[in-house]
Structure 1
Amino acid sequence: MLVVFIRTIILYTIVIVAMRIMGKRQIGELQPFELAVAIMISDLASVPMQNTGIPLLHGIIPILTMLAIQISISFITLKSKKVRDIICGKPSVLISAGKINEDVFQKELYTLNDLLEQLRTKDIYNIADVEFAILESNGQLSVVPKASKRSVTPEDLNINAKYEAPATELIIDGELIKENLKRLDYDRSTLEYELKKMGINSIKDVLFASIDCQGKLFCQAKERK
């Protein structure tokens, strides 16, 4: 039993490292060859994990081989557009200038029901509101609504919008994120002073704290039990 436990930990660690090296992508964003490699790696790991009669190296070596193949293909596709088009495929225009391209649907084995379903996930319930719809190589649908159906932007109203950047986390669950504090050139004593103004005496009592690009501090204290 101990042998199975140790083998499982080793294989799990290798699979996690391999998937991490492959890059940060969600399942729906993987290219076909990346999805195939991910499935094969998980299958290769499960065999020696279940059968202790199979040497551990017989599972590790194929996993590392698949990882090397995936990295090689990714590197090649970065350097060559032709290879990238062959391996990953090209985006397909399903709707162009408001017109449905029937031949593209047949080529991609894609149905109108598939299109309508993906449009609904983007809060578009009328195909007549779509100017362009593009099926990306990873299966995701990109949609450009018609001009009359797009959301109004500050530019449309001739409003000069202020610059906005993502807020920076300073404290998460009582832990101070020192690198963010240093990057913002924000003094710890200043932070603690602002927290005391909010009635919080210690950083450990903070559930979450962040500061936006305008210098406004947001803070929520932990609930006292």
Structure 2
Amino acid sequence: MLLIIIRTVILYAAIVIVMRVMGKREIGQLQPFELVVALMIADLAAIPMQNTGIPLLSGIIPIVILMAAQVTLSYISLKSEKARTVFCGRPSVLVANGKLVEKELRYLRYNINDLLEQLRSKDYPNIADVEFAILETNGQLSVIPKSQKRAVQPEDLKLETKYEGMPVTVVMDGKVVKENLKKINLNEDWLKTELNKFGINDFKKVFFASLDTAGKLFYQLKANSGGGSV
């Protein structure tokens, strides 16, 4: 039993490292060749994990080879348009200028019910509101609505808007994120002063705190003690 646990931990660590090297993508965002590699890696890891008679290297070496092949193909796809078309394919336009592209639907064996279901999931229950619908190479459907049906933007109303950047996390689970404070030219003394205004004298009481680009501090105390902003 101990041997199985050790082999499982080693293979798990190897797969985690391999998947990290291969890049950050969700399953739904994988290209076909990337999905094949992921499935093959899972199968290769399962065999030596279950059968202690098979050397660990018999599972790890093929996994590393697949990782190298995937990274190589990804690099080639990045540099070559032709290779990218061969490995990943091309996006397919299913709705163009408000009309269904029957030829493309038949070629992809993509029926209208599937298309309507995907449109509903994108909050477009009426196909008449859609200008373009594009099936991307990873299988996701991108929808471009007609100009009359798109959400109103501040630019449409000629409104001026302020810059909104990403809030910076300054406290996480009772610990000050010093690197983030340094990036925004602040320090722990400033943070302590700001929290003291709310009667908070110990960072350990703070579950989360962040500072937005307008200088407003948001915080939440541990154990559902409440939160607020400055």
Could you say whether these structures have the same fold, taking a TM-score greater than 0.5 normalized by the shorter chain as the test?
Answer: yes
**Does residue 40 of structure 2 align to residue 72 of structure 1?**
no
Cα distance per residue 1:49-73 (max 9 Å; x no partner): 0000111111011100100100110
Is contact 1:97–1:131 with CA below 8 Å preserved after alignment?
A: yes
Identity over the aligned pairs, expressed in percent?
A: 57
The residue number in structure 1 matching 2:169 is 169
- Give the Cα–Cα distance (whole angstroms) in 1 for the partners of residues 143 and 82 of structure 2: 25
Q: How far apart, CA to CA, are the structure 2 residues paired with 1:89 and 1:194? A: 54
Distance in structure 2 (CA, Å) of the matches to 1:187 and 1:24: 32
Q: Which position in structure 2 is the counterpart of 1:63?
A: 63
The 5 A counterparts of 1:152-163 are 152-163=152-163
- Name the CA distance, whole Å, in 2 between partners of 1:114 and 1:32: 20
Is 1:146 the counterpart of 2:146? The answer is yes
Q: Distance in 2 between matches of 1:187 and 1:54?
A: 55
Match of 2:210, SS state, is strand
TM-score (norm 1): 0.98
Alignment-derived partner of residue 217 in structure 1: 217
Residue 186 of structure 1 deviates from its aligned partner by: 1.2
Alpha carbons 1:208, 1:219 under 8 Å: kept: yes
Name 1:200's counterpart in structure 2.
200
Contact 1:200/1:221, CA 8 A, preserved across alignment: no
Q: How many residues align?
A: 225
Partner residue of 1:48? 48
* C-alpha distance after superposition, 1:112-168 (max 9, x if no partner): 111111111111110110000000000011111111111101000000111111111
What SS is found at the alignment partner of 1:107? helix
2:228 alignment counterpart: none
Quick check: 1:33–1:87 contact (8 Å CA) kept in 2?
Answer: yes
Counterpart of 1:210 in structure 2: which amino acid?
A: S
For 1:65, the aligned partner's letter is: I
Aligned to 1:17: 17
Which residues of structure 1 form unaligned runs of 5+? Answer: none
Contact 2:30 2:138 in 1 (8 A): yes
Is the 1:94–1:134 Cα contact (8 Å) retained in structure 2?
yes
Q: Normalized against structure 2, the TM-score is what?
A: 0.96
Letter in 2 for 1:9: V
Superposition RMSD on alpha carbons, in Å? 1.1
Is the 8 Å Cα contact of residues 94 and 133 (structure 2) preserved in structure 1?
yes
The answer for the alignment partner of 2:183 in structure 1 is 183
CA offsets, 1:82-121, max 9 Å, x none? 0000100000111010010011111112111111111111
Do the aligned residues in 2 keep the contact of 1:28 with 1:138 (CA within 8 Å)?
yes
The structural deviation recorded for 1:224 is: 7.2
What do residues 190-219 of structure 1 show as CA deviations (whole Å, max 9, x unaligned)?
A: 110110101211111101100111111111
Alignment of 1:86-125 (within 5 A): 86-125=86-125
Which consecutive segments of 4 or more residues in structure 1 shift more than 6 A? none
Paired with 2:200 and 2:119, the residues of 1 have a C-alpha distance of: 47
Confirm or deny: 8 A CA contact 1:134 1:142 kept in the other structure. yes
* Distance (Å, rounded) in 2 between the aligned partners of 1:22 and 1:111: 34
- Structure 2 unpaired stretches of 5+: 226-230
